[in-house]
Structure 1
Amino acid sequence: MRTVKELRLAGLFAYLAALVLGLLFSYLLHSLLGGGGRLGWESFNFTGLLEGLGFLLFFTFALYVAKKAVRVPCTTLLTAGLLWPTPARRLARPLPRVEALEAYEGRGVALLVQEGRPVGLLGLSDHILPLEEVPSVEAEVAVSELSPLFLRQPLVLVVKGEEVVGAISREAFFRYLGA
């Protein structure tokens, strides 16, 4: 799972690589067409229009290939990492904590805590699920990276070190994606 920082850097590098490739392709066209192309503020000609169109097409194609290669969300790629994906901690909702099984009322998912440390999860199945069996991610992991986990589990825990920050449900994840 990649963090938000890693995705921002990947988006920046992919965007810069596509930009450089587009400029190189435009320069190649410029050289092949005799170097007379002008596409600027004061004047332009047909050769300059071809060079500009070549840059746009190759830059767009390079962005498409880069998106497939680095698997970065579109907004992060198109803004060169200025707009980053949401971290998991922002989508996570706190879980109610239960000190003893007798205190659990059977409504919703709750975190079973013994001696101040979380040990299991109640409400997902007919028994207590140990925390090792529930998928968990660090708080700074990008939400866009969580889709493989939701194919198997209805809930993902968000942790920061040993502390459980909260949980993201499958419904909240798909609502975030707009599905």
Structure 2
Amino acid sequence: MEPPVRGLGRCASCFWLAVAFDVLGLLVLLVGVFVNVFFYDLLIYAGAIVIFLSLIWWVFWYSGNIDVPPAELQDDVGLLKKPRGFTALRGAVARLSGRVSSGFRTSLRRTGGARSSARSPGGARSPADPLVDPQPGHVTVAMATLGPPGKGPPDGAETSPT
């Protein structure tokens, strides 16, 4: 068994980072409060944010120093043998899950929900048929940029004869 950790614990770097963030945040905050500068509000908010961020390092330091006895840790990492009924239940759940997911896959195949495109691998259309989609049910819509009524087309826009 390991001897207990003394002093700052195992995560001394997190401790010193937390202290540094606290000191820096407090200095910035106090400069914003007591020094007459035109950006005092920025300093006050920045100091408060840096002090808040120091909480992350305090949590890391604290959680890194939690001691868990090996007897309590064994159950959490799966070192203890599970009862026989548990593995049977897990197998039944896995079989049920497989049946449900295969049912979804076959229903998608029947209804056509997961179709593949008949286009070329790059998704490009053939030059002979640029506006026809090979999949039934799809609609091709042509769109154009229009300006305000009564004015010509926007700058740089080309007009096509109709």
Question: What is the TM-score with the length of structure 2 in the denominator?
Answer: 0.30
Higher-helix-fraction structure: 2
Structure of larger gyration radius: 2
Higher normalized strand content (fraction of residues): 1
Structure number with the bigger relative contact order (C-alpha 8 A, sep ≥ 6) is 1
